[in-house]
Amino acid sequence: MKLSNNKKSIIKTIIFVIIFLLLYALVNNIFKGKGYAIDEFLLLKRNSRDVIFIGSSHVYTTILPAIIWEESGVTSFNLTGSALPFWTQYHYIKETIKTQTPKVIVCELYGVVSDTEYLSGSFIFQHLSTMKASKNKIDAIFASVPKNLRIDYLLEFPLYHGRRNISINDFRHLLGLKTPESVYLYFNGYFPHYGYAKKENKKQKKPNVSTFLGYGEIPGKQLKYLMKIIELAKEQRDIKFLFLITPYRVSEKDELIFNSIEKIARENGIEFINYNFLYDEIGLDFNTDLFDETHLNEKGAMKLSKDLAKRLSLYELKDNRNNPDYEFWNIRSAEALQKIKNDSAAFYEANKE
């Protein structure tokens, strides 16, 4: 039976749409940015990490998975983004449990103090542009992107159409070639920061956090997604959640907000660690262990990571240091720490005053 002209037109249209969508997806995959945190995270072997740390630059400058391994035999990874807000953390958690089965997810909270509705375009691009297409990505776009830019993020190609520097790395996944290991993956999401925080060359003083009493108002959008994360945590019966504040020169305004979050977290059965109250316990020296006013350098990161490894032992995570299947972790962690030690010594030698 012959097809009518109308049916032929419909079939041709369907074939054209399918070919167009396939080509559009192909071009998007070639031109889109590479090497952002969520993109690198998705390169990990499935179900290969016991602990996932999610948060802002306070994670990637502060938590050293190589130390966590050496101290406890626990595998971990930092999934991060500069100034990462709670609404993006929420969607990163949902992305995490698609490919990993961590025993613990640690949410770092520095981004919660921001009362902005949307971050600047460069931050949004970094956080969302390389997420895989899914309902979760669409929801993340609606939460994170101003209305006038959402169509660009949904279509993706408008974000990259002006890109000119195409290289072989953009075709590796299409050709089945192995992607070279990035620094981000080498250190499992940690970025070493060398140097000292200096402010008018005066001796750095620790904030007297014991005087920061009371509770501050959590910005509305941050509070909304804090509660969403708590609800998500309650749904994940096989995953423990831990809320974390990393140490920095905290202001009273920030600390009062953290006090409010701690109260909510504990009321909902979420463990909470605030390292701004543990400066002395971890031996943090504000003259040698801070990279700047809000981030630790490699010396401070090692101190905090050693302490955090001990605290993670409360979750009864398996120590795999003597497991032959994890020998790569022994080798890689030792290599990473030796590299940090060597680079640190070279930096301070070259920058002696």
Quickly count: other Cβ atoms within 10 Å of residue 142's Cβ: 13
- Predicted confidence band at 156 (pLDDT cuts at 50, 70, 90)? confident
Which pair of tokens denotes residue 5? 């002209």
Half-sphere exposure of 56 (CA within 13 A, CB side): 23
Question: In the predicted model, what is the mean pLDDT of residues 78-96?
Answer: 94
Please give the pLDDT value at position 31: 60
- Predicted confidence band at 130 (pLDDT cuts at 50, 70, 90)? confident
Lowest mean pLDDT among 29-33, 52-56, 179-183: 29-33
E-only strand ranges, 230-333: 240-245, 271-274
- Predicted confidence band at 146 (pLDDT cuts at 50, 70, 90)? very high
Please give the pLDDT value at position 201: 43
- In tens, the pLDDT along 54-75 reads 999 999 999 999 999 999 999 9
- Predicted confidence band at 308 (pLDDT cuts at 50, 70, 90)? very high
Please give the pLDDT value at position 332: 96
Please give the pLDDT value at position 147: 95
As a whole number of angstroms, the distance between CA 201 and CA 198 comes to 6
Is 313's pLDDT higher than 70?
yes
Please give the pLDDT value at position 11: 78
Per-residue b or e along 52-78, where b marks 16 or more CB atoms closer than 10 Å to that residue's CB: bbbbbbbbbbbbbbbbbbbbbbbbbbb
Question: In the predicted model, what is the mean pLDDT of residues 29-35?
Answer: 62
As a whole number of angstroms, the distance between CA 304 and CA 190 comes to 13
Question: Percent of the chain scored above 90 by pLDDT?
Answer: 66
- Predicted confidence band at 133 (pLDDT cuts at 50, 70, 90)? confident
- Predicted confidence band at 26 (pLDDT cuts at 50, 70, 90)? low
Question: In the predicted model, what is the mean pLDDT of residues 278-288?
Answer: 95
- In tens, the pLDDT along 183-236 reads 888 999 999 999 987 654 446 678 999 999 999 999 999 999 999 999 999 999
- Predicted confidence band at 28 (pLDDT cuts at 50, 70, 90)? low
As a whole number of angstroms, the distance between CA 2 and CA 21 comes to 29
Q: 0.85 exceeded by the pTM?
A: yes
Is 33's pLDDT higher than 70?
no
- Predicted confidence band at 34 (pLDDT cuts at 50, 70, 90)? low
Please give the pLDDT value at position 203: 61
Cα-Cα-Cα-Cα torsion 161, 162, 167, 168, nearest 10 degrees, comes to: 0
Domains recognised in the chain with CATH numbers: 46-119+179-350 (3.40.50.1110)
E-only strand ranges, 224-277: 240-245, 271-274
Residue 52 — φ and ψ, nearest 5°? -120, 125
Half-sphere exposure of 57 (CA within 13 A, CB side): 14
* Residue type present at position 351: N
Question: In the predicted model, what is the mean pLDDT of residues 99-120?
Answer: 93
What strands, in cross-sheet order, belong to the sheet with 271-274? 76-80, 51-55, 104-108, 240-245, 271-274
Give me the chain's average pLDDT, please: 89
Question: In the predicted model, what is the mean pLDDT of residues 78-99?
Answer: 95
- DSSP β-bridge partners for residue 237: none
Which pair of tokens denotes residue 236? 């994940």
